[in-house]
Chain A
Amino acid sequence: MKIALFIPCYIDQFYPNVGIATLQLLEKLGCDVTFPLEQTCCGQPMANSGFASLSKGCDANFVKNFSGFDYIVAPSGSCVLHVKEHLHDDKNPNEALQIRNTVYELTEFLTDILKIKNLNASFPYKVGLHNSCHGQRGLNLSSMSERMLPEFSKAEELLKMVRGIELRRPERNDECCGFGGTFCVFEEAVSVKMGKDRISQHEANDVDYITGGDTSCLMHLEGILKRQESKVKIIHIAEILNSLL
C-alpha cells in the first residue's frame, strides 16, 4: 500500500510539527509513506474566494505530485474536502478523478482504511475537540447536531485510545470557529467574534488543549488565545495520537 503524504502549504510553512507527527504516526502503524517533494497547495484559498479559475495551476501541480499512489493522506479535513470536490485537470482527467477518490483526511484514513482499534499513545491532559466544519459536515467525520442521525465521531474514537487523556465536550459542540479561509480577514470582526466564542466554550471546561483535525481552524484560535494570553494551547490531533508523554 503506497501512501502519499499531502502536507497543506500553511502546515508546511508554519506548523511543520503537524506534518512530522502525521508522518511518524503513519510509519509507526506500518505504512509506506512518501512525501512528494514538489507539492504546494490544493488551490482552496483562491477557489473559496471566488477564483476557482485561478486554481488550475495548483490543480495541475497537485495531479503531477500525487498520481500513482494507492492513497493520499493529509492532516487537514478542509484541504482534503477541497481536493475531493474540486480537483480538475483537463490534461489528466483520469488521474484527477483517481486522486479525488483516494484522498483521505488522517482520522478518516486511520478509522476507515487502517481500521485501527488501539494505539500506543499517551497524553495526560484535559482536551477539548474542535470539530472543523469541512471535516465534519463536508467529509462526514462525525455526526452533526443539525441532522437526526445516529451519533458518532471518528476523532473522538481515536482520542479515546490515548492513555491519560481527558476529553471534555464544549457547549455547541459543532459550531464553526470563524476561520473560513479568506473570511478570516475579509470579515474580520465576525471571524474573531466567532473564534472568541468558541474559545470561551472550551475555557469553561478548563481544558489544557484544544485539538482538531484542521490546523487552519487551530491557527485562528491560537492567534486569539495568544492575544488573550490564555493558558489554553492548541495541538493538532496527529500530535496527540503520536504522543508518548
Chain B
Amino acid sequence: MAAKHAELAEKFIADEPRTDWHDETLWFVRSKRDKAAHGLPEWEQLREWGSQIKNHTLSNLSNYLKEFEENAIANGIKIHWAADGDEHNKIIHDIIRKHNIKKIVKSKSMLTEECHLNEYLQHNGIEVVDTDLGERIVQFRKEPPSHIVLPAIHLKKEDVSATFHEHLQTEKGNNDPQYLTEAARQHLRNKFVESDLAITGVNFAIAETGGFVVCTNEGNADMGAHTAPVHIACMGFEKLIPKAEHLSVFLRLLARSATGQPITTYSSHFHRPRPGQEMHIVIVDNGRSRQLGREDFRNSLKCIRCAACFNTCPVYRRSGGHSYHTAVAGPIGSILNPNLDMKANADLPFASTLCGSCSNVCPVKINIHEQLWKWRQVISEEGYAATSKKVAMEGMSFVLSNPKLYRFAGKMGRGVMKLFPFMVNNKLNVWFKQREMPEPPKESFRDWYLKNGKFKK
C-alpha cells in the first residue's frame, strides 16, 4: 500500500530546520494575504458574494454550461466534453495527432495534473514543456507540484541551482535567483517560439460571453497562446461563472487570497481564436458530477484554487505538499480527493486538527473543516478505517457510555491510560515518544466532589 500522510509527514519533519523554513515561507504568504484582505473594508462582503455566485452557478450548472458552449461555439471555439481524465487526455491526444504536433508548451493547470496528462502524453512519445517557472523546476526533477499556486515551494534556491546546473547547464553553485530566473527565461523563450500547441488551464469561464480568463504572474499562458497555432484550454466544469461582471468579485478575491497581490500580473481574457489559430476548450467532469450529488460536499466545487487554505494550514506548512500524495494537496485537496478515490485517499481527511483556519481564509466560504469531519464519518461508514482504530473506538465508546465502567476504568487505569486507548496507540505508546504523560492525580474530580462539594441531589 502506498505511504500515507502521517508517514510521509514524519519523513518531511525529520529535517526540522527545513520544516521550519517551509513553515515560515508559507506563513509569510499567509501574512501577505492578511494584509491585502485588511486593505479592503468590504472583504467579508466580497467573500459572501463570491460564495453566493458560485452556489447559484452550481445550482444551475447545466443551463450555464449549455449557454457557455453555445456562446463559445458562436465565437469560433471548439468545445469538447470529457467524462473523465482518460477521455480528457485522449481528446488532447487526438488534436495533437490530427495536426501532427511535435512541440507543446503548457501553462499551469491543476486539472491536467489531476488527469495525469503529462504522463499520458509521455507514454505516447510526446513531450510537454511546463512553462510556469515552478512547474518547470519540478518537471526537471520528475516531481509533482507540492502546491497548486507555488508548485516548487518545497525547494530552496540551492535545490533550484543544482537542478538548473544539471538541466540548463548553469554555473554550479550559483544560487542567485536573478541569474537562475534569467536562465529559465532564455530556455523557455525558445520553447515558446518553437511551439505548435499551447495548453492552458482556465480560471474562469464566462457563460454569457463564451470566453474564459487565465490568470498567471509570469505571462506564460499568454506567451504560449499567442505564439502557437493551436490553443487548448482545459477546465473542470466548476470553473464556470454566469457573467463577466462577476469577475470583479473573483479577480479581487483570487490574487489577494493566493499571494496577497491586489491582482494577478496577467488576467488574460480569451474570447475567440485569432485569424489562422485553432482554439479548443475541454470541459471535464472527472468525478465532479458525483461530488455535486453529495449534499454535504457539493460546495467544495466552489473552489477557485487560490491555495489560501494551504498557506494557513498548520499541518500543510509542517508536512509539505507531497505528503498528501495527490495532485491537489492541502485542506481543499483533502475534501476533493476522497471523492476521486476514497480508498486511496482515506487518510487525508484525518490529516487535520480541524482547527478551522482553512474555512476562515477561504474566499468563497467553503466550510472545509466541517467537510473534513463529515468525510471522516463517510470513510468509517464505508469501511475504509483501520480495523485497529475501529476496535479501539468501539472499546472506548463502550466504556464511556457506561458511567460505572468509566469510573472503574478510571480508578484502575488512570496511570496507564486505560480509559483513552487512543493515547496508547497500538503496542507503542505514541503519545510518550515526544511527550510526558499527564501525572495521574490521587482522585478524580468526582471523588473530590463527593467529599467536598455541596452534594445536592
Cross-chain contact A57 with B397 (CB below 8 angstroms)? yes
Residues of chain A in range 1-29 having any CB-CB distance to chain B below 8 Å: 7, 9-20, 23, 27
With a CB–CB cut-off of 8 A, which chain A residues contact B10? 188-190
Given A20-B445, A49-B422, A148-B43, A58-B397 contact (CB < 8 Å): yes
Asked if B194 is an interface residue, CB under 8 A from chain A, the answer is no
Cross-chain contact A190 with B319 (CB below 8 angstroms)? yes
Cross-chain contact B433 with A10 (CB below 8 angstroms)? no
With a CB–CB cut-off of 8 A, which chain A residues contact B446? 7, 12, 35, 37
Asked if A179 is an interface residue, CB under 8 A from chain B, the answer is yes
With a CB–CB cut-off of 8 A, which chain B residues contact A54? 393-394, 397
Partner-contacting stretch, out of B86-94, B266-274, B287-295, B377-385: B377-385
Bound Cα distance A178, B402 (Å): 30
With a CB–CB cut-off of 8 A, which chain B residues contact A19? 445, 448-449
With a CB–CB cut-off of 8 A, which chain A residues contact B278? none
Bound Cα distance A34, B10 (Å): 45
Asked if A53 is an interface residue, CB under 8 A from chain B, the answer is yes
Bound Cα distance A149, B41 (Å): 9
With a CB–CB cut-off of 8 A, which chain B residues contact A10? 420
Contacts across chains A and B counted by CB atoms under 8 Å = 237
Bound Cα distance A147, B357 (Å): 10
Residue in contact with A9 in the complex, picked from B381, B400, B456, CB distance below 8 Å: B400
Cross-chain contact A223 with B350 (CB below 8 angstroms)? no
Chain B interface helix/strand/loop/mixed: helix
Bound Cα distance A86, B444 (Å): 26
User: What is the 8 Å Cβ interface bit string for chain A, positions 44-75, against chain B (1 contact, 0 not)?
Assistant: 01111111111111101100000000000000
Q: A182-B422, A222-B438 are in contact. List 12 more A-B contacts (CB 8 A).
A: A50-B377, A51-B390, A57-B398, A57-B402, A58-B397, A58-B401, A175-B357, A180-B352, A185-B431, A189-B13, A194-B314, A224-B434
Bound Cα distance A134, B357 (Å): 11
* Range for the number of chain A residues in contact with chain B: 35 or more
Cross-chain contact A14 with B435 (CB below 8 angstroms)? no
Asked if B230 is an interface residue, CB under 8 A from chain A, the answer is no
Given A48-B373, A197-B23, A227-B436 contact (CB < 8 Å): yes
User: What is the 8 Å Cβ interface bit string for chain A, positions 105-125, against chain B (1 contact, 0 not)?
Assistant: 000000000000000000000
Residues of chain B in range 5-24 having any CB-CB distance to chain A below 8 Å: 5-6, 9-10, 13, 16, 19, 23
Bound Cα distance A180, B439 (Å): 20
With a CB–CB cut-off of 8 A, which chain A residues contact B275? none
With a CB–CB cut-off of 8 A, which chain B residues contact A149? 44
Cross-chain contact A16 with B315 (CB below 8 angstroms)? no
Bound Cα distance A14, B357 (Å): 29
Bound Cα distance A172, B398 (Å): 39
A–B Cβ pairs within 8 angstroms, 20 of them: A12-B445, A13-B440, A16-B443, A16-B448, A18-B445, A37-B446, A40-B400, A45-B393, A45-B422, A48-B354, A51-B394, A56-B401, A178-B314, A183-B350, A184-B423, A185-B423, A189-B9, A189-B13, A194-B318, A223-B437
With a CB–CB cut-off of 8 A, which chain B residues contact A175? 314, 357
Cross-chain contact B360 with A9 (CB below 8 angstroms)? no
Cross-chain contact B431 with A184 (CB below 8 angstroms)? yes
Residues on A facing B (Cβ under 8 Å): 7, 9-20, 23, 27, 33-35, 37-41, 43, 45-58, 60-61, 133-134, 137-138, 144-149, 172, 175-176, 178-195, 197, 219-220, 222-224, 226-227
Nearest A residue to B456 via CB reads A34
Give the Cβ gap from B43 to chain A, nearest Cβ, in Å. Answer: 4
Q: Which of B40, B314, B377, B425: most chain A CB closer than 10 A?
A: B314
Give the Cβ gap from B415 to chain A, nearest Cβ, in Å. Answer: 10
Given A41-B406, A54-B394, A187-B350 contact (CB < 8 Å): yes
Q: Which of B361, B402, B449: most chain A CB closer than 10 A?
A: B449
With a CB–CB cut-off of 8 A, which chain A residues contact B454? 27, 33
User: What is the 8 Å Cβ interface bit string for chain B, positions 389-408, against chain A (1 contact, 0 not)?
Assistant: 11001101110111100100
Nearest B residue to A224 via CB reads B435
Cross-chain contact B457 with A37 (CB below 8 angstroms)? yes
With a CB–CB cut-off of 8 A, which chain B residues contact A178? 314, 353
